[in-house]
Amino acid sequence: MNKWWVVARREWQVSFQSPLAYVLLGIWMLLAGYFYVSILLGNQTTNLSALYQNLIILLLFIAPLLTMRLLAEERRTGSEELMLTAPLSPAQWVAGKYIGALLVWTVFSVVSLLFPLVTSRLGTLDWGITASSFLGLWLFGASTLAIGIFASSLTENQVVAAMVSFAVVLLFYATTWIQTTGWVSTLLTYVSMPGQLNNFTLGVIGVQNLIYFVSLIFGFLFISVRAVDLRRWT
């Protein structure tokens, strides 16, 4: 069995052996349900684009909590030293930790499909737009997890890791708030996560948008591996 998968499976088991994942999943569904009912009753529409936007904002707070302990806790307890001296490369370790967290986030995403399923029973639902919107939501979550694992690789304090993760994600999210013109405005629009998510909510899955999120994920995983590898030789 691949070593990274052993780490991922262990991370999956640990996540659901502690109450944190269940508490966060409960909060996720409770607030998502509130948003869903408010939108459905307030707007009298089966268009769930407003729900996706609210879930993305909610994820800004949930994702740092999902990732804050991934590497920080290992460093605090000293088990990181055992992992780094084991026949396991930093890349395999980080990849395993990330895949484990990604599986947990996928559970959150799948459970969220309850809302479009209910909506389809109440009226007409455009499943093409719904599928692309949920793909965008999943990719956004996958990106925030990569940022979160990078923040967790920098410190042994989980609270600090969560705060750093939230700050970095917010930076990517809020770049469009900066009022500029010309090429700077174009660059900030490209870097902005909401700017990349717009096409998904319209039912369009653009190659450029996919490249953006995949690059973001692998970029932060790469520097996370470098951060772990640096401690291995210090």
pTM beyond 0.95, yes or no: no
Give pLDDT tens digits for 179-225. Answer: 666 666 667 667 778 878 888 888 888 888 899 999 999 999 999 99
Give pLDDT tens digits for 96-136. Answer: 999 999 999 999 999 998 888 888 887 777 788 888 888 99
Show the DSSP H helices in the chain as ranges: 3-17, 19-43, 49-67, 72-77, 79-85, 90-112, 114-122, 127-152, 158-173, 182-191, 193-201, 207-232
How far are the Cα atoms of 115, 208, 209 from residue 34, in angstroms, in the given order?
Answer: 11, 33, 29
Boundaries of every domain in the chain = 3-232
